[in-house]
Every structure is written in structure tokens, then in C-alpha cells.
Structure 1
């Protein structure tokens, strides 16, 4: 095994290394005969690959029996990659336990809410709170760190993989014990917990923490406060595993940065990735494109949020797909141009690394129909030619490395807990979807030609001229104060239905809706009026509401009605209001689900006197997304064609689905 004691390391401030964008994939050489490895390295060089994530699902090979390690094959591939000029993001290999561990210790297996045990045969069959699993995982992590601490190919550590993707919610006895400890630390006394959860309802009052269980399957609605705290606990439990593996790695290799791949938009919406950002040396994310017309803007939204979870610093796109995935009901391939467009859109939003799952498309196993950089069809294929073209393009954009996204004037707030809680059962309708509502407003901003940042609600957004907070359902006293101070300080707020409704314990703010935001908005909603499926209500402006409306029964003297209900039981009542306090800010409330088109109408009405909502000429009337990264005196303008038609903007021709990058020097 090749070693060296000093070499360049990635720094730990978010920069992924100056001079080149990183490009590569998850690499699983253990799936292939040894004679394939040399060809892999040669083809990686042809494609411009300069980094791979290695050993992600290799525990069974690395430790074939308890405490007996086989590193020979990993030594060889590490040396081979280094000789080929390819760096390694080395995984701790703890994502999927080997069969012997589950056989010897079935108590590591996670348990579903109905008592179902999740057995081996897939992946992530382990409890985040299992002390037995943790002991074995940390032993392997230490062995890997000690083995490869000085290997010249190693540039980063990859903790586990997609933590919590399939095992976030474990309802086992281990989880129950850990949950009780978490609750005691949070509430101190059982009386405080009973108050927070409202356990006087349905005779749920607890006399001791030992009586509390995870919210397992029950006859009907489970306690909302208990469910919210279990979601917080589950996010923290998986985060704790990230921390303990990271601690071992930092002890043994303090100069090697540590990360793990978030899934900001994917299956695990119940992880609070905002709170995780401080536990990694640089943020990494996996993203998989939604098929169809929605997909491009959806990608932009989540890449935008990822960049702001990273604090505006560069981040690592750890996984996306070259073409089709294999886990949706239907999995169409990407259209011509989409591989390049998707990658460059991520780069525009701050990614300094563009990587895929995976390098060589698998021949066997559960993901054999998931596309790879090198597909089943081989090198003589559209996908591989596009992969090579992207590698060349990223090489041309080396100067972008280390630059940061330029702050916009408008922010869209995103709040994980509002996402969790607003979609609960037992609500006025099951038709609300927080992510759909926030994306609709983001797309409306793009349609208006307005560049916006998607930022966590807990972040610093006070300096934005306009803040849009769709369905900000969970608002505690601290957030309530921040919002009110923002408006009275001159900021322009736009928020929508079902906002401000509950506090941090999922308890309703009393006195009328929108609860915590009632004074800031200057209105009072008496009751929610959800609509039946396929039912719509017209507004005076011509907009149409579906799914949700509200009965606004009071507006303060400084509130103007921007739009009203034109039919149905709410005819003549306000639908969209705006309060303008003396300080010069404003607070707009949209009481109905107006969709993307209706949201655009609201933005256009506000743009009359809010300059930040006036479209950028480069956006070509919303057909082009404008994204800006800055480094020193250079601005990098990314112009992304949002359409399937050619667009000409400021003398620049954009083909369908094309992204064009221009460098502009700042005086």
C-alpha cells in the first residue's frame, strides 16, 4: 500500500480545494472482476473523473468475520486510483451490516411502528440507538481510519451513507429507552412534558417518564406533541451516529475533512438537516430529478436550499443520476441535454463537486436498472458521451471553484418542522402539501424573473428586502418576534394560509388564526374552509382557489384588501390582504391555495411598489433562471433555459434546456 506523510488536504471551511471542480461517482469495484478495474480507471480518466466515493457498502468484505479484516482488495484499488490521479472520498462502510452481525445480534434490527422487524436482505437494517451496532460500527471506523490515515488518495471521509434513509424511525425497546432520556433532557419534569403534549386529552397523562413509549401503532390519532418530539428525537439519534463516527475519524485523522450525504429533498423529509450542518466539515447532498416539466425548477429549489444550509459556502453534490432511476412507478430516462443542465444548475447554486450514483451500472442487485456513468450499453452510448462532455465542461469552469452564491434580495423561508406537522392526519384536510406550496411560490418568483434564496427559517434572513414564508405552520414565540420585527423594521413579508397556527409543541395559538402572526398581519381568521376534491372558488382578480380557503372576519385599519372571494360561501370576504405599518414595511397574507399562477399574480401586484420583485431583464420574462456566483472581482452568471425552446437574451442564444456561464468583472 502506498503511503506518504504530507500532502495537500481539503480545508475545513467549506472550500473543496482550489483549481478544479470535483467530478466523479460512487465506485463499487467489489461488484466486478479484478480485470475490470484497470479499464475503469482508464475510462474515468477519459471522462475527466477526479474523485470517487469508495467502500460505501463493503462491510461484509472488509470484515468477513468479527474482528477479522481483509483490506487487501481495498489497498489495491486505493493505490490504483491514486496512480490514475483520482482522489478518494472513503466511506466508513457502516451503512449496511454484514449478515454475520445480524445473525449473532438480531437485537440490532430496527422495528416498525406496528412491531414488524426489518430483516437483512436489503440495507440499513440497524437501529440508530443500538449500543451493540454502534460498538461494531465504531470498531470498523477506527480500523479504516488507522489503515488509510496516510494514504495519498484519501481526501475526505464519508460517514455511513444516506443516514436514516430507511431506518430513521425505529420503535424498538432500544429506541424507547433512548427516547425517554431525550425527553428528560428536554423537559426536565414530567409535568412540563404533560403540559407540552396536552395529555389531559384522552386520559394520556403520564406519571413518570418510564411510562412513555414511541408513538407505535394505536387505535386512532396519536398524540401530536408526542409525534413531533419523536420526529425530533429520531433526527437527533441518527445525527448522534454521525457525530460518534466523525469523532473517531477526527481523532485518528484530524486533518482529513468529514462529511456525509444529506438528502435535502429526497425520501427522508423528517431529518432536520439544518441542525446537522455544523457536524460536517462540508455539506454534501444527494438529489434525484423528478421527471417531467416540474423537475427542473424542483432541482433548482433544493439545490438553492442546500447551498444555504451550507451557509452559502461551496458544497458537494454526492449523488444524482445520469439518466433513469429505478425506484419510481415509472422511470423514464433523462432527455437530451438534461444531464448537462442538471449538473450545471447544481454548480450554479454552489456545488464544487458533481458526482453520481454510480460509476459502472450494476449487473446484479436491487439497483441494477439505476443508471450509471458507464451504462449497461457501454462506452458507445448517449449517456457515456454526455458524461465525457460534462467532464470537459467542468474542466473549463475551474475558476468557479471556491466561489460563493451571491445573495439575492428576496428569500423563501423553508422550515422542516412546518413540513412535518402541516401534513398530519386529523387536520381540516389531507390535501395540504408543504413542499408543493413552497415550490409553487419559488416557481412563481422564477416566472416573474426574480432571483431568490431558499433559506432555513432559523437562519439569518433579516437583511432580505422581501421574505416569502409559505405555510409557515409552526411558529414559536422567538420566530414570532423575529417576523414582527422584520416587518416593523421595513421588510416586506408574504405568508400564506395555515401559517402561524401552532407553537413548537403543535399546540394551537388561541384567539383566531393565523395565530402567532395575527397581529403582524392585522387580520383575524375565524375558521378554515377547506374545499372538497375538484371544488374550486373564484377570486375577484380571476385567480382560482383549490384545496383551501379561510374566513377572514376582521382586518385592522391599516390593512388593504388586494383580492377577495367572488363566489361560494365566502363571497365578498377578503382573500388576499396587505398591512403597511408606518415603518414602511408590509405584511401580505394569502388565505387560499392559489397555486403557481395565483402566486405570480400576487407577486405582480406587489411589484408595483416593491422593487425587489421586479423581474431581471436577463430572465427573459421568466424563461431563463439567473443564478450568480462570485469570487473576488469576478461574477459568474449562470443563465439556465427553463423551457424546451430556444431563448435569446442580451445577445446570448440558449438552446432548449441549456445552461450558459458568463464571467463578468466587477469594477
Structure 2
């Protein structure tokens, strides 16, 4: 059976290419120019209607379809398909005026005003009623429109309003808790409410974790994160239910945000979609932002369970919302786009098609910039469209990672609550360090949740698993016992899913598989460091480890420079069942971590994609008859790589070697039907 995105790309004739289209911002005569230029640039799919609620429904109960009717017909007449949004991400002014209590409230009690997007409480019954009515009308009007190939539910769920603390949210939170715990004794137990005299005797006594005099109850705050994510997920399910009832032929997606969005569980939303879509924007302050791009692309593939996925938004150049909005250099947009393609995307979309003249995002780049068709960005966007047409054969092929990296929103929430051993211990810092170590080794990994099926992976790495349920710990232990290779980062396995410490000694749920006990956690002050016996300096975190079957691979220096755990194990290895489990009792710098993971992967049989010089990214997509090797040069030097195959889209191979110029991308087709000698 075909995947829904494969069906879409077949309809489009190749890789999906386009952007967010907002014709309501422009006079009608511009629309004709838009479709002409879209065709010139190779655009075959645009997202329409994301922020059009006030145009579609100018007054309660009154719908005006004139703009969407004309625009969808115009796009279809020019061979451009539509990803139609439900428009529920930006309620119109009449809604917030009619329902002022539907506006979200901060933890300090401030009710936010209208004047931006996502100005609604996720638990508001008034919002639910208005949004459902809009989606119903939209689906009935356009469910059979020939331009429509994908439904775009909402937009970036929870980006601005995930955590609402109003009284309506408080009532919904209590209902959620009743469903989860059934009785107050169970809730009091897992939240530890006998601490600080918080024991609840009535459900109505429970409020959201609003601002208070001292530290909030961590179990309560963790559950509130879960509730808020679930409240938005309930709204997502409501919209998808309507769409599937009225227009079942059209697949459904929503644009989740990967590491850009901490407040909602991306796996949960991805599981409710027919095809997975993500947004990604480079962190401008990071000169190695292309590694963050790769991480998020691999996370998108993990959310899609290995199937093709759609890049719903990225930027042609600068964005408008970072402290300094750095423009992309010539060739960087192409390189970013093809890196997403290399890691499993079958569609590349931008925000947005035409750069806005007014509004908060007028300085956000677009495919068609303020300068029009004379600017560099337009010329690069047009050239990319032509190149994607030449690469259409890669659609449907998949990326298979040898390594699984465990990524978990619940751990992210729990680790960064108040009153932890160190507020310098941040979840994404650990994830990015471990990912960078694998990226520099050119070892492909899938980012998956801790309860994923791990049997097909040669190695599993867990950069940060502070929160780990017994069920998920059993999943890891079983994987190692059956012959797997596991590496775990410091301060992992510490608490259960309720943020209760696993008793009996740290690292709690992982003591047996790791063969050690962390006698004491010893976070370092910002200005301090500890020295390892090989001369490596480590910062932030140190653990005093007692071996219980494991073998030290690397120790802290046995001098005063070795820090508070001097002479003790810093990296350990433990044979468990038929497999091995490694542990790092400190936050290793990337260079040292790379060597640990190089050894682990070599022992596990997880090999680099190709033998390539540093800074050359290599990823392979595999289809039924061919594989496609993407070589992406992020350096200023020309790279030479030995390959077997033929060049695609102009790539040239001479004597079994391909040249990858600085900043360039080369694709090689490998024939899978030829048996190796």
C-alpha cells in the first residue's frame, strides 16, 4: 500500500515544492502574476488559508467564500495543487470581542489581549464550537475541489498558547486528572503532596501550577505540561474527525515543530496524521546550524516512523523572530533544502511564497522577495525548483538509520523543572552534543521515543533520560540483553514517569544494565571544570560512580584537577546478556564523545555512510532498485569521495570518484540490482 505522501507526490509529478501562499494580503491583479511565477519556479504545491479566518468568516455565522473560490480555481487552472489549512490558528477580532474569556492567561494571571495569532485558550468551549463550525463549513465547501491534495490542520499547535492558566483550563485540568488517576489518593501519592502540606481532599482544590511563593510541586507541573499538550491534541483530533467524515479522500497533516517547540509532544501529534509535516528554521547564532537541521530532519523521520515526510516550512534566507536575523549565504538555501531531501523529505516548502509588505513578518524572507525577480533569492528558488524536478526519482525511497537516538518530550519537560541539581543541565544541549558526535562520524541515526521497537538497530544512544518509566527501562534492558549496544548519558534513569526518584541508588532504573551505582551527583559551578586522565576537560556535571560489574574505560584524573570525583570512572562499559551498555558519568565535550561513540558503533557494526573528509555530510536514501547517496559539502575545501554509481542531476563521476566543490551538493544513484562481487 502506498504511503499518503507518495500518492501526493505522484499527483504532483515529483517532489512537492512551494510555500505558504497568502493571496488575501495582495490585490487580485497580483494573483495572476503569482501563478505565472510559480510555474516558472517549478512550484507544484502551495499552502493556502493558514491565517484566513477573518476573511472566510467576517462575522459570526456569515461566510464569504469568494476569495478562496477564486484562488483555488486559479491555482488549479495553472496546475498548482493546494494544501488547504483549516484557518483555526488565528481567531478573528469578532471572536475575542464576543468571547473575552476565551483569551489565554499567563501563570501570573495576566489575560492576553487580541492582536496576534493563537489568541485562544485550548480548553475554551467557545473556541471549540467556533473552530469546529469553521472546519465543517470549509470541508463541505472544498472537500471535493480538484486542487485540494492535503488538509493542513491548524498551524504550529501550541507555538504561542500551549500553557494557559485560566479558570477554564483549571476545570479541564481537574477533569484530565480524574481520568488519569481515578481517585485523589493515587494523585496524592504520585505528586508527593504530603511534602509542604499540599495533600488534596477535593478535586476542586487543585489549580494549575500558577506563580506562587516558592517552588511549584514538580509532579503537578509535569502533569500540567502533559495536560496542556493533550488539550491541544484534543482540538487536533476534533478537526481531523470533521475532515475525515466530510472529505475522507484527502490526507491530513499538521506542521509539528521538532526541537523548536518544547511545549507539545510531537510524537503524539504525528501519530494522528496521515503524513508527517514539520517546520524547521536555522538557529542564526549557531555557525553549525546545518547540524541542527540534520537533527530535526532525523527527528521528523522518527516521527514519521521511517516513512517519507514533508518539510512544511523553512526559510529562503533570514527569518524575522530571532535576536539577529542572519541572511543565508549564496547557495546555503539550496544546501539546506537538499539536506532535508537527503534525510527523507519528499517535499520542500517555504514560509512563504511572496514576501509580505506589511505585518509582523514582512522581514521574513520568501521565495519571491521584496526585490521581485531581480534578486538573488528568487533566482536560487527558481534554480532549486528545476533541480528538484531532475531529482524526482528519489521520492518514495527511505533512509534507514543504523543507530537509534532516544528523544523524549516528557524527559525534556521533567529535566528542566525547578529545583534540579543544576539549572545548567539542559535537555537539548545533551541531545545536540551526542547528535553532533554521530553527525561528524557520518553515522545516520533515527530519533525515536524510549518505547520504540529497537530490535532493528545496531546501536542505541540515550543522551539524556532523566525521566524513565519501568516499562521503557525494560525496553532498553531487553534490547541489550538480546545483543544490542547501548550508550547512556549522565543523570539518566533517575526518576519515574511521575518525577519520583527510583530508590535503591542512581541511576535508578538503569543500574542493572549499566552495572554501576552513581553514589553522588556533583554538578560543577560555571567557572569550574574537571580533568579526565587523557587530558580532556569537562564542565557542568560530574558523578561519583561505584562499579557493580562494569569496566571503567576512562577515568577522572587521580589528582586535585580531576575534580570532585577524581580517580573515579568517567566512562564505563558493561557486558549485559549478549550485549553491552556504556555510560558517561559526566558531560563530555563533543570531541571526546565522538571517540566513545566511534568505538561503540564500530563494535556494534554501525558504520559511516561513506569514507569522507570532515565536514562532508553523507546520507543514503534507499528504494526498491536504487539507492541515492547525497554528499553535502559544508566546508571551504573541495572533497573527493570514492563512490559506485552514476551521477544524478548533473553530478559527474570519474574513475569511481566524485568531486564535491565547497558548499555544493552531489547526488549519486547506486544500482541495488547488481550483486556485489
TM-score normalised by L of structure 1? 0.95
Of the three residues 518, 541, 554, the one matched with 1:548 is: 541
Of the three residues 99, 102, 107, the one matched with 1:105 is: 99
Greater displacement, 638-647 / 543-552: 638-647
Q: CA deviation at 1:134?
A: 0.9
Equivalent residue, structure 2, for 1:570: 565
Q: Secondary structure at the match of 2:435?
A: helix
Equivalent residue, structure 2, for 1:288: 281
Q: Secondary structure at the match of 1:210?
A: helix
Of the three residues 465, 485, 495, the one matched with 1:472 is: 465
Equivalent residue, structure 1, for 2:654: none
Inter-CA distance 186–13: structure 2 relative to 1 (3 Å threshold): farther
Q: CA deviation at 1:605?
A: 4.0
Inter-CA distance 436–619: structure 2 relative to 1 (3 Å threshold): farther
Q: CA deviation at 1:653?
A: 1.4
Q: CA deviation at 1:15?
A: 4.8
Equivalent residue, structure 2, for 1:381: 375
Equivalent residue, structure 2, for 1:3: none
Equivalent residue, structure 2, for 1:657: 663
Inter-CA distance 244–80: structure 2 relative to 1 (3 Å threshold): same
Mapped contact 2:529–2:563 kept (Cα < 8 A): no
1:413 matched to 2:370? The reply is: no
Equivalent residue, structure 2, for 1:524: 517
Q: Deviations over 1:84-106 (max 9, x none)?
A: 11011111111111111111111
How many residues matched? 652
Greater displacement, 450-459 / 45-54: 450-459
Mapped contact 2:52–2:87 kept (Cα < 8 A): yes
Equivalent residue, structure 1, for 2:651: none
Q: Deviations over 1:273-305 (max 9, x none)?
A: 112222111111111012242200100011011
Equivalent residue, structure 2, for 1:179: 173
Q: Map 1:93-242; keep pairs closer than 5 Å.
A: 93-242=87-236
Q: Deviations over 1:207-227 (max 9, x none)?
A: 121211111111111011111
Unpaired segments of 5 or more residues in structure 1? 1-9
Equivalent residue, structure 1, for 2:574: 579
Equivalent residue, structure 1, for 2:446: 453
Equivalent residue, structure 2, for 1:5: none
Q: Which has the higher contact order (CA 8 A, sep 6+)?
A: 1
Q: Which runs of 4+ in 1 moved over 4 A?
A: none
Q: CA deviation at 1:34?
A: 1.0
Q: CA deviation at 1:180?
A: 0.8
In the alignment, the residues of structure 1 paired with residue 504 and residue 343 of structure 2 have an alpha-carbon distance, to the nearest angstrom, of 42
In the alignment, the residues of structure 1 paired with residue 7 and residue 482 of structure 2 have an alpha-carbon distance, to the nearest angstrom, of 35
Equivalent residue, structure 1, for 2:531: 538
1:635 matched to 2:627? The reply is: yes
Greater displacement, 564-573 / 101-110: 564-573
In the alignment, the residues of structure 2 paired with residue 348 and residue 328 of structure 1 have an alpha-carbon distance, to the nearest angstrom, of 27
Inter-CA distance 145–283: structure 2 relative to 1 (3 Å threshold): same
Q: Secondary structure at the match of 2:573?
A: strand
Mapped contact 1:28–1:55 kept (Cα < 8 A): yes
Greater displacement, 566-575 / 242-251: 566-575
Mapped contact 1:437–1:595 kept (Cα < 8 A): no
Q: Deviations over 1:406-441 (max 9, x none)?
A: x22222111111111112221111111211211111
Of the three residues 626, 635, 642, the one matched with 2:618 is: 626
Q: Secondary structure at the match of 2:433?
A: helix
Q: CA deviation at 1:558?
A: 4.7
Q: CA deviation at 1:14?
A: 6.2
Mapped contact 2:404–2:461 kept (Cα < 8 A): yes
Equivalent residue, structure 2, for 1:7: none
Q: Secondary structure at the match of 1:404?
A: coil
Mapped contact 2:458–2:605 kept (Cα < 8 A): no
Of the three residues 216, 238, 247, the one matched with 2:241 is: 247
Mapped contact 2:485–2:600 kept (Cα < 8 A): no
Mapped contact 2:256–2:270 kept (Cα < 8 A): no
In the alignment, the residues of structure 2 paired with residue 455 and residue 321 of structure 1 have an alpha-carbon distance, to the nearest angstrom, of 26
In the alignment, the residues of structure 2 paired with residue 619 and residue 199 of structure 1 have an alpha-carbon distance, to the nearest angstrom, of 56
CA RMSD, 1 decimal: 1.5
Inter-CA distance 461–211: structure 2 relative to 1 (3 Å threshold): same
Mapped contact 1:15–1:402 kept (Cα < 8 A): no
Equivalent residue, structure 1, for 2:387: 393
Equivalent residue, structure 2, for 1:54: 48
Q: Deviations over 1:24-80 (max 9, x none)?
A: 001001101111110111111111001111011111111111111111111111111
TM-score normalised by L of structure 2? 0.94
Q: Map 1:494-533; keep pairs closer than 5 Å.
A: 494-533=487-526
Q: Deviations over 1:350-404 (max 9, x none)?
A: 1111101111111110111000111111110110000001101110111111222
Inter-CA distance 457–657: structure 2 relative to 1 (3 Å threshold): farther
Q: Deviations over 1:158-177 (max 9, x none)?
A: 11111111010011111111
Of the three residues 46, 63, 67, the one matched with 1:69 is: 63
